[in-house]
Amino acid sequence: MKKKLVSVLLAALTVTALPLFSLTGCNSASEIGEEEMLIPTQPLEQQDLMNFISTTGTVEGSNTVHVTTELTAKVATLNVELGSEVKVGDVLCTFDTTELQKQYDTLKKSSDRMNAQRERTNEKQQQMLQDAKLSKSEMLEKAQKMVDRAQSQKDAAQNNLSSMEAQLKEIGEAIENFEFSEDDPEAGALYNDFIEQYNTIGESITEMQNSMAEFDAALEDAKSAYRETERAAQDNIDAAREAIEDAQFEVEDEFTEQLEELKEQIDSAVIKADRNGVVTALNIAEGSIPASTTLMTIEDTNILRINVQISETDILDVHEGQLATIRTTATGDTEFTGKVSRVVNIYSANSNDMYGYGYGEPIGGYSAEITLDGTGNQLLIGMNAKAKIVLEEKESVFAVPYDAIGETEDGENCIYIAEESGDAYTVRCITVEKGMEANFMTEVSGKELEEGALVITDISSVSEGDTIQITEGYQDYMDDADAMNADF
């Protein structure tokens, strides 16, 4: 914050005591025996006070955009120049994509040939897949027939065994229930036939029972063959499918990514504005390859801002929303208004030459942005600006110079008033309360304060009750100080 010492001005106003030889009467200096002083005063008036931080910065546009590219190619056409106004969608410049297009076309031909080969291979592989599926169906059909045949043979043997077991049972019952008769000479022969049949069928059943294990084994072998056939056929199908997928992946991995990258580069060769604004920086020229990825800068001039430096001693007093006033050398005494829109609380190196005097050692500092409220139509981007950030202000309050405030024996603040008394003035002390301090002045309040009262501005040589002579020349010096302070 810019500080100014009132004492410096008051020193210039020091007036030696002058004897008033011409005064006569009962109150004259010759009769009192004292020397009367010529004391500076100023009328007590209500005024506006403002406490502020002075700083400097540069006019910038809001919504700054740096137009960039990753292309490494010559600029074919440049449609803007420094200061050009652009709108969203305007073509700013185009790049020469001849080499990129050649690369793309060559790679595309290779890709097309590979795709054609892939299609042919794919057709073959698809046919192999269909053949494998068909072969599986046919092989499984044959294997199923073998299973059915083994199952049929087993079932027939089981039915035959069951039939012989029924016959054996029936003959056994006949033998068990056979009755011999002395009158029937053929009974013995019949009985012997039953016994012979029983033994014959029993032997057949034994043989059949032994054969059933073979039928079970044959059926299990047929089922196992079916399962093995199914696995082998499915493996052939899976191999055909995998071959198709691998071929497709290999082609896409080889060409697709490269083609997409080249296509993106070709498409990005036409640079368009993505917002309205003015070209404030231009880093390219037609026919040359850009030296950096940043081609140009576009700033919105409808809303201007001032990027100002804030010293370490002041940064904690600066907050978003604070009012600010701005002046520039180009616009003279015209004052523009705005608000602090951003405070950058990040320490960085800058110069202590905050007031534009052209000197100063680098020191640490901070920054802030002041956004103008639409009053800066005359300002141009890049202008150097001086700004006041208002910390506190009051309107229509009584205020006196810093050094015009004294202290009573009781420790209370007071000011001295020169009250007219005949041809001279008498000093009276008035108790006051101090308020806001700003711009050489301190706010005072009190019951005895009156508009127009003559406030003694140099209290170093007066006491309450003194008789003095006054001058109001101090106000001239205050006017000069105000003029200097108004220049930030």
Per residue in 129-141, pLDDT (tens digit) is 888 888 888 888 8
76 and 210 co-located in one domain: no
Number of domains in the chain: 3
188 and 84 co-located in one domain: no
User: Is it the case that residue 161 has pLDDT exceeding 90?
Assistant: no
Write down the pLDDT at residue 8: 33
341 and 409 co-located in one domain: yes
Rounded to two decimals, what is the model's pTM? 0.51
122 and 244 co-located in one domain: yes
- CATH number where 198 lies: 1.10.287
* Cα–Cα distance, 427 to 455 (Å, whole number): 10
Mean pLDDT of 462-486: 66
Q: What angle, 0 to 180 degrees and rounded to 10, lies between the N-to-C axes of helices 98-176 and 257-267?
A: 150
Least confident among 191-200, 251-260, 319-328, 389-398 = 251-260
117 and 252 co-located in one domain: yes
155 and 189 co-located in one domain: yes
User: Is it the case that residue 27 has pLDDT exceeding 90?
Assistant: no
In-domain check, residue 1 = no
46 and 188 co-located in one domain: no
Per residue in 289-306, pLDDT (tens digit) is 998 899 999 988 788 889
Write down the pLDDT at residue 249: 64
CB 279 within 8 A of CB 83: yes
In-domain check, residue 64 = no
pLDDT band, very low/low/confident/very high, at 176 (cuts 50, 70, 90): confident
Domain limits at 167? 103-267
Output helix, strand, coil percentages for the chain, rounded to the nearest 5.
40, 30, 30
SS3 of 17, please? coil
129 and 170 co-located in one domain: yes
**Percentage above 90 pLDDT, the chain:** 29
User: Is it the case that residue 352 has pLDDT exceeding 70?
Assistant: no
pLDDT band, very low/low/confident/very high, at 37 (cuts 50, 70, 90): low
pLDDT band, very low/low/confident/very high, at 368 (cuts 50, 70, 90): very high
419 and 288 co-located in one domain: no
308, two tokens: 């100002």
In this structure, are strands 405-407 and 413-421 parallel, antiparallel, or unpaired? antiparallel
Q: Kindly list the distances between the CA atom of residue 481 and the CA atoms of 5, 46, 130, 299, 486, in Å, as whole numbers in the listed order.
A: 10, 18, 101, 39, 8
- CATH number where 277 lies: 2.40.50.100
User: Is it the case that residue 2 has pLDDT exceeding 60?
Assistant: no
Q: Nearest-CA neighbor of 338 among 355, 320, 353?
A: 320
CB 419 within 8 A of CB 465: no
SS3 of 455, please? strand
* Cα–Cα distance, 293 to 72 (Å, whole number): 9
Mean pLDDT of 423-449: 90
Q: Nearest-CA neighbor of 57 among 389, 391, 314?
A: 389
CB 53 within 8 A of CB 310: yes
Containing 454, the helix (H) or strand (E) segment is: strand 454-456
Taking all residues of the chain, what is their mean pLDDT, rounded to a whole number? 81
275 and 330 co-located in one domain: no
